[in-house]
Amino acid sequence: MRRRMIFKLGVTVVIAVAVIIVYIQHTDPDLQHQGEDEVKDKLVVERKQVDGVQKESIDGADKEHMTSNKDSEPLKKSENIPESDKHHGIEKSNGNQSHSEDSVVNKKINGKTKGLKAVYSSSQFAPKDSIHLSVVACGDRTPESLILLKSAVLFTSKHLVFHIFAETQLQKGFRDQLDFWPADFLSKVDYFIYDISFPSGGKTDHWKELFKPCASQRLFLPTLLTDVDALIYVDTDILFLSPLEGIWSFFQLFNSTQLAALAPEHEDAAAGWYNRFARHPYYGNLGLNSGVMLMNLTRLRESVWLPSLIEYYKEYKLKIAWGDQDLINIYFHYFPEQLYVFGCDWNYRADHCMYMSVCRAAETNGAYILHGSRRVFLNDKQPAFKAVYDAFKEHRLGDDIQYKLLVQIERNLEGTIKSSCGQHGHIYTKQVQIYSNHMREAEKKAREKMKDKKPPHPPR
Ligand SMILES: *[C@@H]1O[C@H](CO)[C@@H](O)[C@H](O)[C@H]1NC(C)=O
Ligand SMILES: *[C@@H]1O[C@H](CO)[C@@H](O)[C@H](O)[C@H]1NC(C)=O
């Protein structure tokens, strides 16, 4: 009797143990092998990602009817990344850059090593007065980023340094394309490719719990690129229609308190997003658009930039619709004396023409920089923007700008005259025309100089 009971008990225990083992094997294998803290980290991150999606879809729905400018893609994009890569990306932000043999420190710039190490760097010497340009590419943003970089090198005569932050699986694509550029363009460029990263070390680790990596990368540039004095940050949906020397020259106009420069989000209060809908503080009357941003990293490092942003994030995270752009707006609401504001012609968007033309400066000067927010370079909502983008996409570096690029832009624009943004076609062509005239003048002068130098024909 007693033996039978012990036997039954034994069988029960064996079955229970078996059930437990089976259960453990079927739970997330990742979770088993991590410490409790890591598990917690992962859950926090995952929950944040889920929160992001929900917010995205709620906000995205009504934003579509309003005149929002900011493309919230970076938030969405992280959802398309396979789980393994996501985790990989988060690990990376711990600062374990393990690409030792491939790693090149930014030492060519001034020999220091404490900043973020590049995964790859083209091996050239960047002169001190180079123009630095930074872009963050995640998800499917590689093609447009490359066209953006092409537009930058096309018109600019100073040496350029690209700081490209890209998800691991995109990095090779950048190298393959950039290294394929014609030598006379490639020789004007230095480029660094970095993992999407957070600053490493001690108590800063919690940043990775607060921010989604891709959407917030630019906020950390001052802390990561410790050897860089200043740079132009652009979203991937940007096209330069003029030399970068133009926008870069605003740095010289900064007074002693200014450390960044941006364009307003809107020109027109009736169509403004922030003034009508924002539930958090923002800059000025109509807010700021963050698609094109001059950042004096030296000054940002000396300021309260990062600690403030973290505080604002904690305070307003449930009221923020456009991620990092909103945080930047909150910051300059409290520190307006630190901001230099440039005009809408330096960040020209479909919002400036979709109802009526509201950017006077662009009507006069043409757009210096075009911003295809809400994917208008790729979809058919604003055919004029797509027309310009397509012409840059087709253009090959080295082909004639006047007779190939400009002609192509004009031809593509012909079909868009009836659309709201196609009515003022010169906005998209004027700066390219000015550049091309300027280059032809310069060439003519150079030819004349050569002629003068030639010895006269000997008399017969
Ligand atoms: C950025 O600020 C620092 C410190 O004020 C200054 O030395 C540097 O020239 C500035 N950089 C640019 C590009 O204006
Ligand atoms: C710099 O310019 C900003 C914007 O006009 C202004 O608010 C700030 O007071 C200026 N700083 C100094 C030191 O003049």
257 with 354, same domain: the answer is no
Please give the pLDDT value at position 456.
Answer: 62
- Residue whose Cα lies nearest atom 5 of ligand 1: it is 299
DSSP secondary structure string, 204-241?
GGGHHHHS-HHHHGGGGHHHH-TT--EEEEE-SSEEE-
CA 285 vs CA 197, 255, 267, 351, 360: distances in Å? 34, 22, 10, 17, 18
Q: Is 429 in the pocket of ligand 2 (CB under 6 A)?
A: no
What is the extent of the structural domain holding 273?
Answer: 49-342
133 with 171, same domain: the answer is yes
- Residue whose Cα lies nearest atom 9 of ligand 2: it is 337
259 with 303, same domain: the answer is yes
Tallying the residues shown for the chain, one arrives at: 460
384 with 308, same domain: the answer is no
Tell me the β-bridge partners of 234: 292
Q: Quote the strand ranges of 69-130, DSSP E.
A: 120-121
291 with 413, same domain: the answer is no
248 CA to middle of ligand 1, Å? 12
Tell me the β-bridge partners of 41: none
Number of domains in the chain: 2
Is there a domain that residue 173 lies in? yes
Q: Is 337 in the pocket of ligand 2 (CB under 6 A)?
A: yes
- Residue whose Cα lies nearest atom 3 of ligand 1: it is 298
Q: Is 157 in the pocket of ligand 2 (CB under 6 A)?
A: no
CATH number at residue 53: 3.90.550.10
337 CA to middle of ligand 1, Å? 16
CA 422 from chain centre, in angstroms, equals: 26
The SS3 call for residue 289 is strand
Report the atom number in ligand 1 closest to the C-alpha of 251: 14
232 CA to middle of ligand 1, Å? 13
Q: Is 258 in the pocket of ligand 2 (CB under 6 A)?
A: yes
211 with 135, same domain: the answer is yes
Is there a domain that residue 230 lies in? yes
Q: Quote the strand ranges of 230-316, DSSP E.
A: 230-234, 238-240, 260-264, 288-296
Instruction: Please identify every stretch of the chain with a pLDDT value under 50, giving residue numbers as ranges.
Output: 19, 21-22, 24, 27-113, 202
| Last residue within a domain, chosen from 323, 342, 361 | 342
- Which of 12-43 are b and which e, b meaning 16 or more Cβ less than 10 Å from the residue's Cβ? eeeeeeeeeeeeeeeeeeeeeeeeeeeeebbe
| Last residue within a domain, chosen from 317, 342, 367 | 342
- Residue whose Cα lies nearest atom 14 of ligand 2: it is 255
| Last residue within a domain, chosen from 342, 367, 387 | 342
246 with 375, same domain: the answer is no
Alpha carbon dihedral 388, 389, 393, 396, in 10-degree steps, equals: 40
Please give the pLDDT value at position 458.
Answer: 64
Is there a domain that residue 123 lies in? yes
Is there a domain that residue 10 lies in? no
129 CA to middle of ligand 1, Å? 12
Within the chain, how many helices (H) and strands (E) appear? Answer: 21, 11
Please give the pLDDT value at position 246.
Answer: 98
Please give the pLDDT value at position 22.
Answer: 45
- Which of 117-146 are b and which e, b meaning 16 or more Cβ less than 10 Å from the residue's Cβ? bbbbbbeeebeeebbbbbbbbbbebbebbb
Which tens digits make up the pLDDT trace of 264-323?
A: 999 988 889 899 989 999 999 999 999 999 999 999 999 999 999 989 998 998 888 888
Is there a domain that residue 25 lies in? no
CB pairs under 8 A, 24+ apart, for 143-149? 144/236, 144/237, 144/372, 144/377, 144/378, 144/389, 145/174, 145/236, 146/174, 146/177, 146/178, 147/239, 147/389, 147/392, 147/393, 148/234, 148/236, 148/237, 148/238, 148/239, 148/240, 149/178
Asked if 175 contacts 120 with a C-beta cutoff of 8 angstroms, the reply is yes
Tracing tokens 């960044």 back to the chain, one arrives at 260
151 CA to middle of ligand 2, Å? 33
Tell me how far apart the alpha carbons of residues 269 and 133 are, in angstroms, rounded to a whole number: 31
330 with 371, same domain: the answer is no
- With a pLDDT cut of 70, the percent of the chain lying above it is 71
299 CA to middle of ligand 1, Å? 7
Please give the pLDDT value at position 230.
Answer: 98
Asked if 247 contacts 230 with a C-beta cutoff of 8 angstroms, the reply is no
Ligand 1 pocket, CB under 6 A: 229-230, 251, 296, 298-299
Report the atom number in ligand 1 closest to the C-alpha of 248: 13
84 with 212, same domain: the answer is yes
- Residue whose Cα lies nearest atom 11 of ligand 2: it is 257
Please give the pLDDT value at position 345.
Answer: 98
Q: Is 25 in the pocket of ligand 2 (CB under 6 A)?
A: no
